[in-house]
Amino acid sequence: MLPKRVMVPLIAFLVLSGGVGANVFLFQSTGRGVFAGRGIDAEAWNIAAIEAAEFGDTGSIGHVRGKAGDNGLDLAALAASTQPAPSGDKLETTRAIQRELQIRGYETGSRDGVVGAMTRGAIMAFEHDHGLPLTGEASDDLLKSIVLGAAGKPSASPKIESSEARDAIRSVQRSLAKLGYKPGNPTGNLTPETARAIRAFEADQAMAVSGRISGPLIARLERLAGTGRVAAAP
């Protein structure tokens, strides 16, 4: 039988070891539940974190700062500051479209997987330049056209195939009219009159003259509108 002075430390060691093991097991088995219980998809957050590390902060995930000594990760801060981002195939398709458009010189504003005003303008610029109907929508077919290379040529009067594209054109028309240009009635059609107004605006702003909807055009109109968005209907 072991002496008492050996038995007491040994028993204390066994008790502490058992407690640590139980804590590790419980954390591993319920770690995903920490995210799920707070409405956070752990896998989606991991994807967003990887994107942020590669491309920089896009506004889709919050800034999380860990406390000293916790390896930079504070689960409470993470749960409080992380906003659920769009998830699924649509998110990844849009991110891929944003990336491929930027590589080809079409400014989308970000790579966050969200079809904002600039991304919609970039999509419409690509569609216009390659003779595609204007949709302003992120889709698998669009991604294939970008990656494989659409062979069409620009059209003087492109077909409008979505309400999103029509709304984008209508907003640009209203913004141009408020700035003193004459784009014609805000019908949502890219008419020759609207194209002339866009070219005149681009020339006055020392931008590349294109006469079409684009990300930079929308961004410049937003800035000049002074409200953070393209002028809306009165």
Backbone φ/ψ region at 211: left (φ over 0), alpha (ψ -120 to 50), beta: left
Greater confidence (37 vs 211) lies with: 211
- Over the range 1-12, which residues count as b (16 or more CB within 10 Å of their CB) and which as e? eeeeeeeeeeee
pLDDT one-digit tens code per residue, 146-155? 999 888 888 8
pLDDT one-digit tens code per residue, 20-53? 444 444 444 444 443 344 343 444 434 344 334 4
Structure pTM?
0.61
CB atoms within 10 A of CB 182: 12
Provide the token pair at 176. Answer: 């141009």
For residue 160, give the 3-state DSSP assignment: strand
User: Is residue 157 within 8 Å of residue 190, measured between CB atoms?
Assistant: yes
Q: What is the mean pLDDT of residues 68-97?
A: 57
Provide the token pair at 187. Answer: 């019908």
Q: What is the mean pLDDT of residues 207-223?
A: 96
